[in-house]
Amino acid sequence: MDKQRRAVVKGLAAASLTALTACGGSSTDTPVADLAPAPGIVGDDTASQPAVAFNHGVASGDPLADRVILWTRVTPTDELPRTVSSIPVRVTVALDRDMRDVVGQFSTSTGPERDFCIKLDAAGLQPDTWYYYQFAAGNQRSPVGRTRTFPGAGMAVERARFAVVSCSNYAYGLFSVYKAVSEQADLDFILHLGDYIYEYGPGEYGDFPGRDPLPAHEITSLADYRERHAQYKTDTNLQAVHQQFPMICIWDDHESANDSYRDGAENHTEATEGAWTQRRSDAIQAYFEWLPIREVTSDSGRIWRDFAFGNLMDLFMLDTRLEGRDQPVSSSADPERFSAERRLVSEDQMNWLLAGLTSSSARWRMIGQQVMFAELNVLRTLDVARTLGLDDSFGFNGQLLSLNMDQWDGYVADREVILRTLAAEAIDNTVIFTGDIHTSWANEVYADSGNLLENTLVSPLAAEFVTPSVTSPGFPEQVADLAALAVRTVNPHMKYVELKTPGFILVDVTTERTQAEFYYVRSIRERDLQGVIDPAMTKVVGVDSGSSRIYQDRALSEPRAIRTALFHPPVRPPVRTPPVRTAVS
Ligand SMILES: [Fe+2]
């Protein structure tokens, strides 16, 4: 028995290893017991070598202790007969990047009903283990991807490292940030907090040469959303991120339409664009086809879910957009925002979150969600902005005001329920990760931020780190630094504010502290600078275990020495002492 064959048999003998959960794949999926040739295509009489391609890379996501979602898209080429309705696909999982030490093989299939995407929940894996995987159809094989399982709940874990990203607008510039993330030597996973795609037509939000959105109009139908997802997944920097790390993702508004909520969206007009319920369900369907996300229950459209990373952290991912959100109020002066009846998430989702936070025994409770949680006192910020000489000629006032009512500030009752629970149950070490607003923030979260000036003895209940965008624009260059100063002057719980530069957060978690390292790229417009980080801008913030007060400017964390990467990133000397920030930190 050769080594490969032995490995397969060994793997199949471990009873649970062979389990396979259909997840967008055929319900007749079964493990296969040998390294047979890749399968032919049903209905393709002529082709024993069916004409397919893997044009959109590979991806993995939602790692649990015994399983992970494996994703790819099989593209039928023109040579494939139109009668083909089902393409069989083989998936191989191995312990090495050369795919020799095989531990499992699965057969599945895909077809037009799921836009030829494959999403396989590869179960029966070992906890806390890195794996490699590859798809095969006809005579084609996909690139090899790398992924991992999480350590099981309660398993002793000392450390975790992950990157947080959001707001990747293809038309606005190059995915330089994704390249920088893909080259990180040591990350356990990627947290994508939404705006993975944008819905606009050409020239409506970004006009970078060669990156006009497809289809060439605002996307509103299932076919449109599918085509837009497919276009994004041709980007090699995005492909590299997916190939290298598992992703845990949630949508924000632009995966459907700008400022969406349960019953509509700012960028949706029923009279000309049809029923919102149809558009919403088309957007959700395409998202579940094209992202490596596990379906909690089939057809539920539910993305709120949780993950355990050993005894180190529990991670709660929220849907503050499409599931339970009431329509935003139009002004921060509208008292309706304080109504006890207003909801940002449904009662079911809130109950699940509160129960999870209360029962969690991990060292850290992480929440990944879309819109800024901390209170932002807009009206007082505008007053200070005026004294600094900022008027509305750059859209400054409008940006702040519209941010505010889309965020938890527009849904005060829901925020108070969470804060009251954290206080009443003495829940510590809660860290919130946020996207959506294309800017960087490190906030202490208090029960009443408005009284901080009067009472400095109150302790924060949580910390919040808001990630900058991959490409989408923040505040205008001319006003960004002064605006950040105005924000911090009247919001003393906001410890770090940067309003203009694309980047990502690298989060390094130990039992002692959670550190958020903000990295910024030099350019999203120059091809030669893709993936190049500007070390002078790097900012370190964090919280120590037992306190939600934010510290600043400690040394950067060092990557662990692991040797599993598919491709080796360039070695850059670590910057041991963060630069002293002068402008707005
Ligand atoms: Fe965005």
DSSP 419-456: HHHHHHTT---EEEEE-SSSSEEEEEE-S-GGGTTT-T
Token representation of residue 158: 């000392």
Q: Is residue 584 part of a domain?
A: no
pLDDT of residue 77: 83
Does one domain contain both 207 and 185?
Answer: yes
| Confidence check: pLDDT of 196 > 70 | yes
Ligand 1 geometric centre to CA of 128 (Å) = 33
Q: Mean pLDDT over residues 339-353, rounded? A: 96
Residue 583 domain-assigned (yes or no): no
Distance CA 567, CA 28 (A): 35
Q: What CATH number did the domain enclosing 447 receive?
A: 3.60.21.70
**Contact call for residues 319 and 349 (beta carbons, < 8 A):** yes
Model confidence, pTM: 0.90
Q: Does any domain span residue 527?
A: yes
Residues with a beta carbon under 5 angstroms from ion ligand 1: 167, 195, 472
Separation CA 235–CA 237 (nearest Å): 6
- In the reported structure, the alpha carbon of residue 17 is separated from the centroid of ligand 1 by a whole-number distance in angstroms of 39
Rounded distance from Cα 197 to ligand 1 centre (Å): 9
Could you give the number of structural domains in the chain?
A: 2
Packing angle of the helix pair 276-290, 222-232 (nearest 10 deg): 30
pLDDT tens track for 511-543: 999 999 999 999 999 999 999 999 999 999 999
pLDDT, mean of residues 414-421 = 97
| pLDDT recorded at residue 403 | 73
CA of 84 to the centre of ligand 1 (A): 38
Alpha-carbon span 60 to 301, nearest angstrom = 19
CA distance linking residue 116 with residue 494, whole number of Å: 46
Instruction: Quote the ligand 1 centre to 171 CA distance (angstroms).
Output: 13
Greater confidence (488 vs 51) lies with 488
Mark whether 124 and 175 lie in a shared domain: no
Residue 34 located in a structural domain = yes
- If asked whether residues 296 and 353 sit together in one domain, one would say yes
Whether 471 is covered by a domain: the verdict is yes
Domain membership of residue 570 (yes or no) is no
pLDDT value, residue 585: 33
Q: How far is the CA of 438 from the centre of ligand 1 (A)?
A: 6
Expressed in angstroms and rounded, the spacing between residue 168 Cα and the centre of ligand 1 is: 7
Cα→Cα distances 387→214, 376, 377, 476, 570, Å: 44, 18, 16, 19, 46
Which pLDDT value is given to residue 47? Answer: 47
C-alpha 472 to ligand 1 mean position (Å) = 6
pLDDT at 36 > cutoff 50: no
Checking if the pLDDT of 281 tops 50, the result is yes
d(CA 314, CA 69): 19
Using only the alpha carbons of the chain, give its radius of gyration.
24
Q: Which two tokens stand for residue 34?
A: 């040998």
Residue 188 has which token pair? 């356990």
User: If you measure from the C-alpha of residue 206 to the centroid of ligand 1, how many angstroms do you get, rounded to a whole number?
Assistant: 12
Q: What is the pLDDT of residues 213-263, one digit of tens each?
A: 999 999 999 999 999 999 999 999 999 999 999 999 999 999 999 999 999
Asked which of 63-77, 289-303, 387-401, 465-479 is least confident by mean pLDDT, the reply is 387-401
What is the rounded CA–CA span in Å between residue 277 and residue 199? Answer: 16
CA 221 to chain centre: 23
Does 270 share its domain with 372? yes
Report residue 185's pLDDT band, with 50, 70 and 90 as the boundaries.
Answer: confident
Percent of the chain with pLDDT over 90: 72
Q: 26 with 55, same domain?
A: yes
**Cα of 109 from ligand 1 centre, angstroms:** 34
- Domain co-membership, 82 together with 167: no
Report CA(156)–ligand 1 centroid distance (Å).
36
**In one letter, which amino acid is 323?**
E
CA–CA dist 183, 531 (Å, integer)? 8
Q: Is the model's pLDDT at 407 over the cut of 90? A: yes
Task: Please give the distance, rounded to the nearest whole angstrom, from the Cα atom of residue 175 to the centre of ligand 1.
Answer: 14
Same domain, 286 and 429: yes
- Residue 167 Cα to ligand 1 middle (Å): 4
Instruction: Show which of 101, 127, 148 is a domain's final residue.
Output: 148
CB 39 within 8 A of CB 83: no
Same domain for 67 and 215, yes or no, is no
Q: What are the helix and strand counts (H, E) for the chain?
A: 11, 28
Specify the amino acid at residue 283: A
**What tokens appear for 278 in the block?**
């149809």
Q: From the centroid of its chain, how far is CA 256? A: 15
- State the sign of the Cα–Cα–Cα–Cα dihedral 99, 100, 102, 105: positive
Given a cut of 80, whether residue 399 has pLDDT beyond it is no
Domain final residue pick, 125, 148, 171: 148
Q: What CATH number is given to the structural domain containing 26?
A: 2.60.40.380
Q: Averaged over 260-271, what is the pLDDT?
A: 96
What pLDDT score does 25 carry?
A: 39
Q: Is residue 41 part of a domain?
A: yes
Distance 297 CA to ligand 1 centre (A): 27
**Residue 386 alpha carbon to ligand 1 centre in Å:** 27
Report CA(23)–ligand 1 centroid distance (Å). Answer: 28
Whole-number pLDDT of residue 583: 40
CA of 194 to the centre of ligand 1 (A): 7
* Whether 265 and 369 share a structural domain: yes
Contact 522, 534 (CB under 8 A): yes
- State the average pLDDT over residues 411-415: 96
Contact 138, 50 (CB under 8 A): yes
Q: What is the pLDDT of residues 445-456, one digit of tens each?
A: 998 776 665 556
Q: Ligand 1 mean position to 99 CA, how many Å?
A: 38
Residues 102 and 221 in one domain: no
Q: Residue 125 Cα, ligand 1 centroid: separation in angstroms?
A: 35
* CA 441 to centroid of ligand 1, rounded, Å: 15
Angle between the 477-490 and 396-406 helix axes, to the nearest 10 degrees? 50
Greater model confidence, 394 or 498: 498
Decide which of 148, 183, 215 is a domain's last residue: 148
Residue 14 clears pLDDT 80, i.e. is over it? no
Write the DSSP symbol of residue 92: E
- Residue 281 CA to ligand 1 center (angstroms) comes to 20
435 Cα to the center of ligand 1, angstroms = 7
> How many whole angstroms separate alpha carbon 266 and alpha carbon 309?
37
Arithmetic mean of pLDDT, 183-203: 96
Distance 251 CA to ligand 1 centre (A): 10
Mean pLDDT of the chain, nearest integer: 87
**pLDDT, tens digit (0-9, with 9 covering 90-100), for 423-442:** 999 999 999 999 999 999 99
585 is a domain residue: no
| Containing structural domain, residue 100 | 3-148
pLDDT at 43 over 50: no
How far the first Cα of the chain sits from its last, in Å, is: 63
78 & 180 share domain: no
| One domain for residues 42 and 191 | no
Confidence of residue 482 (pLDDT cuts 50, 70, 90): confident
Strands 430-434 and 364-369: parallel
- Determine which of 42-46, 251-255, 406-410, 564-568 has the lowest per-residue pLDDT on average: 42-46
Whether the CB-CB separation of 499 and 484 falls below 8 Å is answered with yes
Q: Ligand 1 centroid vs 585 CA: distance in angstroms?
A: 23
How far away, in angstroms, is 273 Cα from ligand 1 center? Answer: 22
* CA–CA gap between residue 395 and residue 499 (Å, rounded): 14
H helix or E strand, kind and range, residue 162: strand 159-165
In the reported structure, the alpha carbon of residue 334 is separated from the centroid of ligand 1 by a whole-number distance in angstroms of 24
pLDDT tens per residue across span 133-167: 999 998 899 999 999 999 999 899 999 999 999 99
**Distance (Å, whole) CA 475 – CA 38:** 51
